[in-house]
Amino acid sequence: MRKIEIEGSKIYVGESYQNITKYLPDAQIIMISDMNVYTHYKHFIDKYDNIIIPTGEKSKNWSTVALIVEELLKLKADRNTFLVGMGGGVVTDITGFVASVFMRGVRFGFIASSLLAQVDASLGGKNGINFHTFKNMIGVFNTPEFVICDAELLKTLPKREVQSGFGEIIKHALIKDHELFVYLKENYKLLLELENRTLEFVIWKAIGIKALVVSNDWLEKGERKQLNFGHTLGHAIENNSDYTHGEAVAVGMYWASKWSVEKGILSETDFAEVQHILKLYRLPINFSLDKYILTSYLLKDKKKHGSAIDFVFLKEIGAAQVMSVPMEELVRAIERL
């Protein structure tokens, strides 16, 4: 087992979810999960008071927050209650958000059951919900006391969800770690087969990258913005199509890399490497979506400031650059897709 700390939050890679009692306080424990996770792990979740929410990104909204709060009151939760979110990014996001606002805040922790949650969504203290079609428009910064990342949990995931998680791991490598990028290329077969030792190493490396970036820039004023590589277009695609988060981010990374070449920031050779690794992990690089819908969404992106937006370009494999780009230039670039 490996342990990493991010702003007071302890991340345990390779720890069994069944050992959670080691990390729980002597208090009322209420577990929050979704129907998919509950189906697989009912025997474990039913050991605790629990609240089961609908599955999927569409449930990350005010209605689900209200449902959880109503159930918390029925369970007689108070300020000493400890919440555990067991699930993917939707569950961890909404659990962290509810824990931050219920009775002005209660303690909480996560069991991250998807690859995406283990390497990204459950880490860094961002908790939130969507508002209409706008992703994570309402949220807070607040860290869980612990995150358990058990690779065994990933074996019940659909293959598509596994590939989605690798989209974020590839992003971490592209912006910060050339050696990890090479490792991902050389070991892609073992990783897609979820070989435990190889997978745990990659999860640990990806978490380490995020931990370093977040520690340097907790409130996303500078370096942390690099973690948005591929997300500007990616979020627009995700919220207007049936692409998963990782699939949409993969398209966003491909396009951001292509634009980086057009602007003379990235070499054609490195751009070919980006295309190659996305194909190895069976992630898409194209999409079919009305460009008017895309640009309308982008004009309301929360990274926008005034008439410009902070956009993440790729300089080389392992290094990114954030530049303020006029929205008009971004829209013209989208139109050339």
Helices (H), 30-158: 35-45, 62-74, 89-101, 115-116
pTM of the model: 0.91
* pLDDT at res. 134: 82
- The Cα-based distances of 328 to 78, 82, 158, 250, 334 in angstroms read 50, 47, 39, 23, 10
* pLDDT at res. 322: 96
Is the pLDDT score of 266 beyond 80? yes
Phi, psi of 288 (to 5 degrees): -125, 105
Mean pLDDT of the chain: 93
Which residues lie closer than 8 Å to 234 by C-beta, 6 or more apart?
245, 248, 249, 250, 251, 252, 253
277 band by pLDDT with thresholds 50, 70 and 90? very high
Q: Which class is 2-155 in CATH? A: alpha beta
Q: How far apart are CA 276 and CA 170, in angstroms?
A: 11
Q: Which class is 158-335 in CATH? A: mainly alpha
The average pLDDT across 81-95 equals 97
Contact 31, 45 (CB under 8 A): yes
* pLDDT at res. 6: 85
Catalytic residue positions? 104, 126, 168, 210, 220, 224, 228, 231, 235, 245
- Domain limits, CATH 1.20.1090.10, in the chain: 158-335
* pLDDT at res. 297: 81
Q: How far apart are CA 235 and CA 299, in angstroms?
A: 12
221 band by pLDDT with thresholds 50, 70 and 90? confident
Compute CA 60 distance to the chain's CA centroid, rounded to the nearest angstrom.
Answer: 14
* pLDDT at res. 174: 98
Is the pLDDT score of 219 beyond 90? no
Tokens describing residue 279: 């194909």
Percentage of the chain surpassing pLDDT 90? 79
Percentage of the chain surpassing pLDDT 70? 99
Is the pLDDT score of 27 beyond 90? yes
Which residues lie closer than 8 Å to 329 by C-beta, 6 or more apart?
none
- Domain limits, CATH 3.40.50.1970, in the chain: 2-155
The average pLDDT across 135-145 equals 92
Tokens describing residue 38: 């509950």
Q: How many residues does the chain have?
A: 337
Q: How far apart are CA 258 and CA 88, in angstroms?
A: 30
* pLDDT at res. 3: 93
DSSP three-state, residue 265: coil
Is the pLDDT score of 222 beyond 90? no
Compute CA 96 distance to the chain's CA centroid, rounded to the nearest angstrom.
Answer: 13
Residue from 260, 252, 246 nearest 287 by CA: 252
Q: End-to-end CA distance of the chain, in Å?
A: 44
Is the pLDDT score of 331 beyond 90? no
289: amino acid identity, one letter = L
Q: How far apart are CA 210 and CA 190, in angstroms?
A: 23
The average pLDDT across 143-167 equals 95
Tokens describing residue 46: 């039913």
